[in-house]
Amino acid sequence: MARVALVSGGTRGIGAAISIALTAAGYKVAANYAGNEERAAAFHKATGIPVYRWDVSDYDACLAGLGRVEADLGPVEVLVNNAGITRDSMFHKMTPQQWKEVIDTNLSGLFNMTHPVWTGMRDRGFGRIVNISSINGQRGQVGQVNYSASKAGDLGFTRALALEGASRNITVNAICPGYIGTEMVRAIPQEVLDEKILPQIPLGRLGEPEEIARCVVFLVSDDAGFITGSTLTANGGQYVAA
């Protein structure tokens, strides 16, 4: 029987590529989204993947949303925590609200999504969790103290939870993408890409969402059963972590 996979932020960008790749690999996929009904409906129409709306920063909403997914598809065995936001600002101008919104979604969202499915994974003796962090959680970034802190926190969450899950055959890993050719990144003026961004990337190009998706498909597969607590960097050589 096909395993059930849930992808948060799963109807756009990297998340959409992950949802599609997991479906192609034989998983029953549910794609969560936060707000854009039109885009989610278009994604569902194009792919047939069921979509579910809730805000990952709200624990009760996650509990209810995950309940709907499990009632429709079955217990969630694979969880991809992809949902994330930015509220960029230089630190001296950053507001408490900008800090809170990013931490609540990008870091607390991992707790809110993972905690409700954790007991079931432990009881069944199987689980695969992949957290989508960022290159800027590894190296930091000007104007992104909130985002970098949240994404660095995702890595600590990953390593600690991996230790707790190991005895129950639950693996927990992270992926740190670099600059990926999503709609948001491709909206950057071409001259900025050519002069400021691409020269930082040894491979000389943006990554593709599908390349991150293939990393996820591997990490949730049986072939990756001995990999846990790891961080997979996919950044074209832009940042090489020790």
- On whether the CB atoms of residues 40 and 30 are closer than 8 A, the answer is no
- Looking at residue 170, the DSSP 8-state letter turns out to be E
3-class secondary structure, 62: helix
The Cα–Cα gap between 214 and 224 comes to: 13
Contact 114, 81 (CB under 8 A): yes
Catalytic-labelled residue, pool 33, 52, 147, 179: 147
For residue 144, give every residue at least 6 positions away whose Cβ sits within 8 Å of its Cβ, in sequence order, or none: 86, 88, 136
Residues 105 and 57: beta-carbon distance below 8 Å: yes
One-letter identity of residue 74 = G
Catalytic: 33?
Answer: no
Q: Would you call 46 exposed, middle or buried from its count of C-beta atoms within 10 A (0-12, 13-18, 19+)?
A: exposed
Round to whole Å and give the CA distance between 207 and 232. 14
Active site residues: 147
